[in-house]
Amino acid sequence: MTTAAHTRTVKEQTFDVLRQYDLTTLFSNPGSTEVGFLADLPADISFVLGLHEGSVVGMASGSALATGRPALVLLHTTAGYGNAVSALATARANRAPLVVIVGQQDRRHLPHEPFLAGRLDGLAGEYPVWQHTPARPQDVPGAVARAWHEAQEGRGPAVVVVPMDDWFAEADDDVAQAAPRGPLAVRGGRTASDDALAALATLLTAADSPCLVAGAGNDTAAGWEALVTLAERLDCPVHQEPFGARAGFPQDHRLFAGHLPAVRPALREVLAPYDTVLTVGAAAFRQYTYAPGDFTEPGTRVAVITDDPEEAHRSPGELVLLAEPADTVRRLAPLVPAVPRSPAPHRPTAPQPPAPGEPLRAAHVLAALAERLDPNAVVVEETPSSRPDLHRLLPARAPLGFLSAAMGGLGFAMPAAIGVRNGAPDRPVVAVLGDGSSLYSVQALWSAAHYGIGVLFVVLANGRYAIMDRLSEREGSAAPAWPAFTELSVSTLAKGLGCPAERVEDHTALLSVLDKVLPTLADRREPLVLEVAVEADAHYSS
């Protein structure tokens, strides 16, 4: 008796590609157009459920940033893809490589635009680094392989749209060979020429009072080491770029001089003492509210090192090197003579603990965290009104020690913290959020609880959009147009999602919880939401 040979399907071949590229953790909120792909999911593919597509993409983004490798996302057709657009925009701005498979209706009746048929081209605008709908089912595995390379090279979401019937089509082995054959098949990198390095070294050598600006693009172990070496040879201050999504330099180093302002008059004032400014891993200079005038005082020379072409082309620098930051700075440092300048060290001061009966403020909470937090911890931030205090009091002391949403939109921190811990399980992770911010992705807490992701979520609860209140005041408004939401209880919501939670309202209780939780955070397998009642600060400085 003979048995007919098994005919391999596109679905089976795609799973082979996913294994080859180490895309074996799948972040998703599934819909009917994806059920065929998910039915009988192989045992070696881990499924991570998020209860909203924004949280799905946020968790995947955190994982990708923690590992440095693309993460896999599966989204439903129009509704799911549309819900995820803001998170995909944040992933692009944060340089998080994602392979995103988006479901589509059955290819055989798409011309009749059936129920759930998606008009998906352009739905996410220019935020995907690549989007493709394969011409035939047999092209799907190769498209997924290419998406990995596009995501890795473009450092953002690469999207493949797959009609639901494609998964069951007979595979074509010849077509699969057309794609790159593995993660190392495409190699490249931007290396600065010797002439370009010599020109930059000449500029720095001629400087009497240089400073360095560290950006998110320098947030690697090699990047930190190289920039420390250069800073110590120049013996000059190092600032962090305005609104940086990651730290590009150890912020507890004696040469760290704080975060640059995000408005031009204040930026000019901070940079005025320097005749030469070199920005590494960022554009020169990212700002927030508009103000007229140049970024620097006349006569200040500006140079930039970045591997991002868009950052390079929008930087008003005298010399811009489009090259990998860590390698460039490592090669640059020996070309610059060591010059002792002994700048004054930057020593932020922590606030005094509140007196008995005095309300807690965000600075009290952040100072308590700073005293107790492991230097290797990752702090994921989404607290707009308290961000200056966080930058001042809670320095990043290791690469990936600080992570925020580069796009500025809310809803990133909570799921991203889960993804970071998933991707780097040996590192303690703390998310610091405002109560208003937490609501944009509060459903992510279910995923943290269900999958045993031991993140500490510190929610600074002031019952209002404090940053918006302050901005309204700047515009001369006597009172904001929106109400406070003091009835909100994030700890109650967390418990309803199955996540352990506590609420504290005084300094003694705060310290008690932190002393109990933080020493266990590296090994913790249960999340905790710590809702801290704080009084909104009366001012905010960007």
Mean pLDDT over 251-267 rounds to 93
Q: Is 384 exposed, middle or buried (0-12, 13-18, 19+ CB in 10 A)?
A: buried
Q: In terms of pLDDT, which residue wins out, 541 or 203? A: 203
CA 112/CA 322 separation, integer angstroms: 48
User: pTM of the prediction?
Assistant: 0.92
Q: What's the length of the chain?
A: 542
CA 151/CA 100 separation, integer angstroms: 9
- Tell me: pLDDT of 6 over 80: no
CA 137/CA 428 separation, integer angstroms: 43
Going by pLDDT thresholds of 50, 70 and 90, the confidence category of residue 344 is low
Beta bridge partners of 26: 47, 72
What percent of the residues of the chain are helix, what percent strand, and what percent coil, each to the nearest 5? 40, 15, 45
The contacts of residue 414 (CB under 8 Å, 6+ apart) are 55, 58, 382, 431, 433, 438, 440, 441, 442, 444, 445, 457
Mean pLDDT over 426-445 rounds to 95
120-129, 234-243, 353-362: least confident range = 353-362
Residue 487 is predicted with a pLDDT of 80
Q: Pseudo-torsion of CA 224, 225, 226, 232, nearest 10°?
A: 100
Mind listing the domains of the chain with CATH numbers? 10-176 (3.40.50.970), 194-335 (3.40.50.1220), 362-533 (3.40.50.970)
Mean pLDDT over 66-93 rounds to 96
Amino acid of residue 447: S
HSE-up of residue 395 (Cα within 13 Å, Cβ side) = 22
Residue 370 is predicted with a pLDDT of 94
- Whether the bond between 27 and the residue before it is cis, its omega within 30 degrees of 0, is no
- Tell me: pLDDT of 208 over 90: yes
Residue 236 is predicted with a pLDDT of 95
Residue 3 is predicted with a pLDDT of 53
CA 118/CA 80 separation, integer angstroms: 10
Q: For residue 251, give the 3-state DSSP assignment.
A: coil
Mean pLDDT over 498-503 rounds to 97
Helix axis angle, 140-154 to 10-20, nearest 10°:
30
Residue 350 is predicted with a pLDDT of 78
CA 84/CA 86 separation, integer angstroms: 6
The first and second tokens of residue 405, run together, are 């949403």
Beta bridge partners of 213: 239, 279
Q: What is the 3-state secondary structure (H, E, C) of 321-334?
A: EECCHHHHHHHHHH
Residue 304 is predicted with a pLDDT of 95
- Tell me: pLDDT of 514 over 90: yes
Whole-number percent of the chain with pLDDT over 70: 92
- Tell me: pLDDT of 187 over 80: no
Going by pLDDT thresholds of 50, 70 and 90, the confidence category of residue 111 is confident
Number of other CB atoms surrounding residue 474 within 10 Å: 10
Question: Which tens digit of pLDDT belongs to each residue from 301-325?
Answer: 999 999 999 999 999 889 999 999 9
- Tell me: pLDDT of 194 over 90: yes
382: part of which helix (H) or strand (E)?
strand 378-382
Residue 174 is predicted with a pLDDT of 63
Q: In terms of pLDDT, which residue wins out, 437 or 408? A: 437
Going by pLDDT thresholds of 50, 70 and 90, the confidence category of residue 288 is confident
Residue 296 is predicted with a pLDDT of 85
Whole-number percent of the chain with pLDDT over 90: 76
Mean pLDDT of the chain: 91
The first and second tokens of residue 222, run together, are 């090699």
The contacts of residue 75 (CB under 8 Å, 6+ apart) are 28, 29, 34, 53, 56, 57, 81, 84, 100, 101, 102, 103
Question: Which tens digit of pLDDT belongs to each residue from 515-536?
Answer: 999 999 999 999 999 999 998 7
Contact between residue 56 and residue 447 where contact means Cβ atoms under 8 Å apart? no
Q: In terms of pLDDT, which residue wins out, 76 or 7? A: 76
CA 492/CA 438 separation, integer angstroms: 13
Mean pLDDT over 433-452 rounds to 95
The first and second tokens of residue 436, run together, are 């208003």
Residue 466 is predicted with a pLDDT of 64
Mean pLDDT over 298-303 rounds to 93
Distance of CA 257 to the CA centre of its chain: 23
The first and second tokens of residue 369, run together, are 């965290």
Q: For 216-231, give one letter per residue: b (16+ CB within 10 A) or e.
A: bbbbbeebbebbbbbb
